[in-house]
Chain A
Amino acid sequence: MRYRSVQRLWSSIVAGAALGGVACAVEAAPTISRLTPPSEKFATGNDSPVIARFLSGQRFDLQATVRPDAGTTVSSVSFKVDGATVATVTTGFSGNRSLVPATAIIATAPNSVAASVRAYSNTKPGMHTLTASATQSDGSVTTATGNFEVVRIAPGLGKVKNVIIMLGDGMGAAHRTAARIMSDGYAQGKAKGRLAMDMPVTGMVMTASLNSIVTDSAPGMANYVNGNKAANNQEGVFPDDTTDTFDNPRVEYLSEYLHRLKGTSLGIVTTADVFDATPAANAVHTSNRGNGTGITDQYLDDRNLTGLTVLLGGGRKWFLPNASNSTSPQNANGSQRRTSTDYVLPGDVVAGWGAATGKLDADRNLIGDFEAAGFQYAADKAALDAATDSSPLLGLFAFSNMNVAKDKIDGRRSASSVVDDYGFPDQPMLDEMTGKALEVLASTSPNGFILMAEGASIDKQAHLMDSERWMLDTIEFDRAVGVARNFAKTHPGTLVIVTADHECSGAAIIGASTVTNNALQSKNGTAALQGVVGVYDAAGFPKYTLADDGYPQSTDIDNKMLIGYGGNADRYEDWQTNAQPIHDTQQPFEKVAPLAGYPGISTNDSQVTGAPNRPIRDIGGNYFIAGQVAGEQAVHTASDIPLSAYGRGAYMFTGVMDNTDVFFKLGQAALGGVLSVNIDVMDKD
């Protein structure tokens, strides 16, 4: 054969092979774009790190999102674990299985579906392979593989009967240290006292969420109590591809798991609105932490799953009936219930989990329904104090968040009218709420309980960079920790852990004022206000005096502690305590002689003279600090946070751990017994 013929022949052969190869690459097959529970094996092919872990028998949902080829549909999805078929799912609902449109992506991926098997569980310890096989209408099949781990519960020593999780929202090391300096003081380098949270055992916790190094409070709480990472804004679920925010794949909470296995009760105590992420992420499953109506409904409707017995905090607005958009004035009761945040669960979730179906009922009288279910209802501290120990308890002490510690204490001292202006003059402190919760739980829970008590406004005030308010909220939180600690001393088998969902604001104790409080008030401008920051040895030891109520007599002392913020937004700073929660001190509730011609404007505010007036917090000091983030508020940070432990099993909580590890330690301690020689870590006395 001549050379050119060979070339043409060889080119033909190569072209034919290439064409053949291209033809093979376009063979039709659906795509599995998501496999739940999530795994690195599915995402990248790597076996580690292991993303999804479960305690033996802990329930969770299996799910796959399948995108079929154009012009085809998905006819079935089969799930296998370790090669054995768990379930095959076809279109529609059947018991605990479903195959439904993937409504979140269907516009760009027509005929995509989400296939689910609800409330699966596995009791065999070790790694497991999860396989999903999707068949589309032309017969093509595709398979995806992931993995998950089942963690063994080992035989241990004494079991933990009661778990108390004290959660300081946003509370990092600096927040704790500042609270100690303020409440105990230092002398020649030694702390003169310790916080209640300064416990014998300490660990460090990594707080990342499923989708970021910087979490928010939803996964920040959920990760601790179900052992799995969640995406920001989501609680007790994995992400999915449907628009329904209540149908996401669930992970069983510690409260549900122990209630099912041991009959434990659940208590939730918070100074925030009770629908907020931290309280909700102990009991409610949703991909939208803002679903207030559905979240509060499910507290009651699924109490048979969680064992909910105590619910205390703010958020009364979700529990009042919202009749309609009527303009009748009689309906203006403050309700925030609305259909768009309410829940109705799909049939497979109801069948698989035994959850209540739910109903779109903005006009529901949820307080009335709690009472009908046997709950006592307390609307203020007086009612809380009068409540008996022998019945479940609902307490709603504010319309949304409760007022912060400083404003509650100033109200009790008659030094401020903020709580009166809000209309809630008799709000309990967190330690009072925690004490009552423990009394009720101890009386009503022969099989033990889980209590989560949250100091919520450490975080909220740190966002606002209001140093004194988050310090006092940390002290309030520590007083509640003291109540928990005392309970553990007198109730054997109780474990107390003190932790945080994340750090907030990058708070740092940068030093102390080098001048008196009087002198500080006259300082003006950047140079002067920077100049008073005593650093290194110039900081000395700020000395605060506590009143009989346990809080500082004043936060504006000579040589006061000064705080800087690493995660700050733009702000003005004058180093002085803000008289009101935020901004200036004028009030339209006139307290003094009104300005002529304008009744209702208070002029009794010596800080509001001069130009410009003080409409923006601390602007009068003319000390502007540029923020490192856009917007108006400081942000969460990715810093590890300290965890303290006390009581039975405390020594299990040492070392550097992931927040999901805490769940497995708690489960081990409660079901298998503690893994430590010193099973009870208590005070020496």
Chain B
Amino acid sequence: MNRARRSCANRTARLSLSAVASLLFCASAATALGESFEPPTPEELLFRDFFRMPVGSRGLEPSSRLIDLDEKLIRIRGYMAHQELPTPGVFILSPLPVELGDADESLSDDLPPAVVFVHFDGPAHPYVAGLLQLTGTLHVGPHDEADGHVSQVRAHLDASQLAAAVAPLSPTTGAPQQAPGRSP
């Protein structure tokens, strides 16, 4: 590269770096002024869109939609599976309310094939009844879970996403509400 071209390339690089720096500066300034970047919009995902239905004779066949949403931010509604022995850092989101009798049944259970293993940092989460809505990052593919299952679909939630997820929705307004819990 001759000196003129090197000089041009260097100037272009400096301009690019300056542009990036400017953008970062603007972003910081905007944040400082109270403006914020729009967070990514989660994609709506329904359980019925997970796999080809009815289930095939040789196993589940992930839909193209499920595959496309791998590693993406999604929003999904379902019911926390009621487990006798919940696992730290994981609960199961199911399209139908189900109760798992872990002690007597082990893995001979009533879980539908299309479920989401919801992962978060923290101890086992107490059971929350009712329809839940959660937003998190989707992961598709087999994974050995600590409770003995092999999950096919997982959602990873950070702390704020978890807090939002475990507030069940009101059936009349559809808005999150406090979980009623179980009490006499």
Which chain A residues have a beta carbon within 8 Å of chain B's beta carbons? Answer: 216-217, 272-273, 275-277, 289-290, 292, 314-317, 320, 322-338, 340-341, 367, 377, 379-380, 383, 399-401, 418, 420-426, 460, 463-464, 570, 580-584, 586-589, 595, 597-601, 603, 605, 608-609, 612-613, 615-616, 619, 624, 626, 631-633, 636
Q: Is the CB of B96 within 8 A of A324?
A: no
Quote the shortest CB–CB distance from B20 to chain A (angstroms). Answer: 31
Contact partner of B97 (CB less than 8 A), chosen from A320, A327, A583, A601, is: A583
Are the CB atoms of A400 and B142 closer together than 8 Å?
no
- Nearest B residue to A610 via CB reads B172
Q: How far is the CA of A616 from the CA of B98 in the complex (A)?
A: 11
> Smallest distance from the beta carbon of A40 to chain B beta carbons, Å?
29
CA distance A421 to B46 in the complex (A): 12
B37 CB, min distance to chain A CBs, angstroms: 24
Interface flags, B55-69, vs A, CB<8A=1, else 0: 111111110001100
Report the bound CA distance from A605 to B130 in whole Å: 13
B41 interface residue, CB < 8 Å from A?
no
Q: Is the CB–CB distance between A327 and B140 below 8 Å? A: yes
State whether A423 and B55 are in contact (beta carbons under 8 Å apart), knowing that A275-B107, A329-B66, A626-B184 are contacts in the complex: yes
- Residue in chain B with minimal CB distance to A613: B171
Known: A335-B150, A424-B55. A324 touches B101 (CB 8 A): no
User: Digit string of B27-57 for contact with A (CB within 8 Å is 1, else 0)?
Assistant: 0000000000000000010111001011111
Q: Which of B82-106 contact A (CB under 8 A)?
A: 82, 84, 95-99, 101, 103-106
Residue of B nearest to A377 (CB): B57
Q: How far is the CB of A221 from chain B (nearest CB, A)?
A: 13
> Inside 8 A of B148's CB, which chain A residues have their CB?
290, 338, 340-341
B54 touches A580 (CB 8 A): no
Q: Which one, B53, B111, B150, B182, contacts A400 given CB within 8 A?
A: B111
A323 touches B142 (CB 8 A): yes
Residue B152, interface by CB 8 Å? yes
State which of A331, A420, A581 has its C-beta within 8 Å of the C-beta of B141: A331
Closest chain A CB from B42 CB (angstroms): 13
A-B contact pairs, 9 of them (CB 8 A): A333-B152, A379-B57, A399-B111, A422-B55, A424-B55, A580-B97, A595-B173, A608-B171, A624-B184
Q: Which of B44, B66, B103, B142 contacts A326 (CB 8 A)?
A: B142
Asked whether B109 is an interface residue with its Cβ less than 8 Å from the other chain, the reply is yes
Distance (whole angstroms) from the CB of B111 to the closest CB of chain A:
6
Give, as a whole number of angstroms, the nearest-CB distance from A381 to chain B. 12
CB contacts (< 8 Å) of A272 on chain B: these are 108
Docked-complex contact A333 and B61, CB < 8 angstroms = yes
Check A584–B141 contact: CB distance below 8 A.
no
- Chain A binding surface SS class: loop
What is the CA–CA distance of A449 and B113 in the complex, to the nearest angstrom?
Answer: 34
Question: Whole-angstrom distance between the alpha carbons of A580 and B82 in the complex?
Answer: 14
Residues of chain A within 8 A (CB-CB) of B143 are: 325
Chain A residues with Cβ below 8 Å from B110 are 400-401, 460, 581
For chain B, the bracket of interface size reads 35 or more
Residues from chain B with a CB closer than 8 A to the CB of A588 are 46-47, 77-78, 95, 131
Task: Please tell me if B79 contacts chain A, counting CB pairs below 8 Å.
Answer: yes
Cross-interface CB contact of A584 among B78, B97, B105, cutoff 8 Å: B97
Cα–Cα distance between A90 and B84 once the two chains are bound (Å): 45
Q: Which 5 A-B pairs have the closest CB atoms?
A: A615-B130, A615-B129, A583-B97, A379-B57, A333-B59
Most A-side CB within 10 Å, residue of B46, B54, B170: B54
A582 surroundings in chain B (CB, below 8 A): 82, 97-99
B77 touches A601 (CB 8 A): yes
Kindly provide the distance from the CB of A218 to the nearest chain B CB, expressed in whole angstroms.
10
Give Cα distance in the complex from A324 to B131, angstroms: 33
* B126 CB, min distance to chain A CBs, angstroms: 12
A480–B123 Cα distance when bound, in Å, is: 45
| Residues of chain B within 8 A of A598, CB atoms compared | 169, 174
Verify B168–A615 contact, CB threshold 8 A: yes
Which residues of chain A have C-beta atoms less than 8 A from B70's C-beta? 327, 329
User: A632 to B82, Cβ gap below 8 A?
Assistant: yes
- Find the A residue at minimum CB distance from B184: A624
Task: Report B152-171 CB contacts with A as 1/0, cut-off 8 Å.
Answer: 11000000000000001111
Q: Are A584 and B130 interface neighbours, CB within 8 A? A: yes
Q: Collect the chain A residues with CB atoms within 8 Å of residue B78's CB.
A: 588
Bound form: Cα–Cα A335–B150 in Å? 7
Cβ–Cβ < 8 Å partners of B99 in chain A: 464, 581-583, 632-633
A327 in contact with B48 given A315-B108, A336-B150, A400-B109 (CB within 8 Å): no
Is B142 a contact partner of A335 (Cβ separation < 8 A)? yes
Contact B130 A423 (CB under 8 A): no
Q: Is the CB of B77 within 8 A of A616?
A: no
Q: Is B112 an interface residue (CB 8 A)?
A: yes
| The one of B59, B77, B84 that contacts A335, using a Cβ cutoff of 8 Å | B59
State the Cβ distance, A184 to closest chain B Cβ, in Å.
29
Give the shortest distance, in Å, between A655 (CB) and chain B (any CB). Answer: 30
> In the assembled complex, how far is the CB of residue A664 from the closest CB belonging to chain B, in whole angstroms?
28
B169 touches A367 (CB 8 A): no
Q: Which of B47, B101, B109, B112 contacts A464 (CB 8 A)?
A: B101
Which A residues touch B62, using CB under 8 A? 329-330, 332
B141 in contact with A276 (CB, 8 Å): no
Q: How far is the CA of A612 from the CA of B181 in the complex (A)?
A: 10
Cβ 8 A contact of A612, one of B111, B113, B131, B180: B180
Contacts A290-B148, A336-B107, A581-B110 supplied; 18 other A-B pairs, CB < 8 Å:
A272-B108, A314-B108, A320-B58, A326-B141, A332-B140, A332-B142, A332-B153, A367-B58, A400-B109, A423-B113, A425-B54, A581-B96, A582-B97, A588-B131, A595-B173, A609-B172, A615-B179, A619-B182
Which one, B60, B66, B111, contacts A333 given CB within 8 A? B60
Q: Across the two chains, which residue of chain B brings its CB closest to A315?
A: B108
Contacts of A616 in B (CB 8 A): 129, 180, 182
Interface string of B105-128 (1 = CB under 8 A from A): 111111111100000000000000
B140: nearest chain-A partner, CB-CB? A329
The residues of B that contact A400 with a CB separation of less than 8 Å are 107-111
Contacts of A330 in B (CB 8 A): 62, 67
What A residues does B53 contact at CB under 8 A?
Answer: 420, 423
The distance in angstroms between the C-alpha atoms of A322 and B180, with both chains bound, is 39
- A334→B113 CA distance, assembly (Å): 7
Which chain A residues border B107 with CB–CB below 8 Å? 273, 275, 290, 292, 336, 400
Q: Please determine whether A325 and B144 come into contact, CB atoms closer than 8 angstroms.
A: yes
Chain A residues, Cβ within 8 Å of B77: 588, 600-601
Across the interface, which residues of A come within 8 angstroms of B131, CB to CB? Answer: 586, 588, 601, 615
Q: State in angstroms the CA–CA spacing of A426 and B142 once bound together.
A: 27
In the complex, the answer to whether B84 meets A632 with C-beta atoms within 8 Å is yes
| A338 contacts across to B, CB distance below 8 A | 144, 148, 150
